[in-house]
Amino acid sequence: MTYCVGMLVREGLIALADTRTNAGVDHIATVTKLHVWEEPGERVLILMTAGNLAITQSVVNLLDEGGASGEGTTLMNVPTMFEAARLVGAAVREIHRRDADDLNRQGIDFSASFLLGGQIAGRRLRLFMVYAAGNFIEATPETPYLQIGETKYGKPIIDRVLSFETGLRQALKCALLSMDSTLKSNISAGLPLDLAIYPRDALKLGLQRRITEDDGYFHGLRKTWRDGLAAAVEAIPDPDWTW
């Protein structure tokens, strides 16, 4: 599995993905699931992927090579974010057309999902989740985040902390804590992490960073969080129930 989270707040966009891929517990490897298409001053698009790696890598290749729509349209020339989400949907449908029957014959589900966030000059910052069927939904101010992969472990902390008005640095910490919860409780997501930060209207990527096991900040965050959680539990008074 995988864990990827995208957060769209007033100040901008956070994208965070783990890098573990596995085909059974015997085949574990590190792959990038966070891809960036950027032309500074004109567009920044960030795509994160979950699901069957052969499918998601094929989708990324189609998006790069313009084979999704049959007209040479790529994420570098598509005119709007809505059209970009449709293009990702078209790419996954094309791979479904090519591969799904053969996968089914081998008893393998056609599993793939995508988070696509970004902004194109003159238009607003948007964040979409594209399903395996090629359809998609969009993050809204009421629910300013989307997740794919192993989503449940990391959801409670986001539900407690994040709103559209949360600052970008606070949202970043929330994303890292959500990932920390997932890493702690599920071995199918793993370090290193890929992080991208896009400040709204910047039209260039603010930060792209690989967070490794040795990353001092992430290491400190995990320790501070562990201690803070323990203190928060400690602060809860005992019930006066007797037994």
Interacting residues toward a copy of itself by CB under 8 A: 150, 152-157, 159-161, 169-170, 172-174, 177, 181-182, 184-186, 197, 199, 206-207, 209, 217, 220-221, 224-226, 228-233, 235-243
Choose between 93 and 222: whose C-beta lies nearer to a copy of itself. Answer: 222
Backbone angles phi, psi at 65, to 5 degrees: -95, -5
Q: Which is nearer to a copy of itself, 141 or 220 (CB)?
A: 220
Q: Which residue, chain included where needed, has tokens 């957060």?
A: 7
Shortest reach from residue 219's CB to a copy of itself, in Å: 12
Provide the minimum distance between the beta carbon of 183 and a copy of itself in the complex, in angstroms, as a whole number.
10
3-state secondary structure the chain: CCEEEEEEECCEEEEEEECEEECCCCCEEECCCEEEEEECCCEEEEEEEEECHHHHHHHHHHHHHCCCCCCCCCCCCCCCHHHHHHHHHHHHHHHHHHHHHHHHHCCCCCCEEEEEEEEECCCCCEEEEECCCCCEEECCCCCCEEEEECCCCCHHHHHHHCCCCCCHHHHHHHHHHHHHHHHHHCCCCCCCEEEEEEECCCCCCCEEEEECCCCHHHHHHHHHHHHHHHHHHHCCCCCCCCC
Is the backbone peptide bond immediately before 199 cis, with ω within 30 degrees of 0? Answer: no
98 versus 204: smaller Cβ distance to a copy of itself: 204
**CA pair distance 199, 75, nearest whole angstrom:** 19
The least distance separating a copy of itself from the CB of residue 154, rounded to whole angstroms, comes to 8
Cβ proximity to a copy of itself: between 52 and 178 the closer is 178
- 94 versus 194: smaller Cβ distance to a copy of itself: 194
Residue 49 or 181 with smaller CB distance to a copy of itself: 181
Min separation Cβ 35 and a copy of itself, Å: 19
Between residues 25 and 232, which has the closer beta carbon with respect to a copy of itself? 232
Cα angle vertex 95, ends 93, 97, to 5°?
70
Minimum distance from CB of 221 to a copy of itself (Å)? 5
Question: Least distance to a copy of itself from the beta carbon of 42, Å?
Answer: 19
The minimum distance between CB 192 and a copy of itself, in angstroms, equals 15
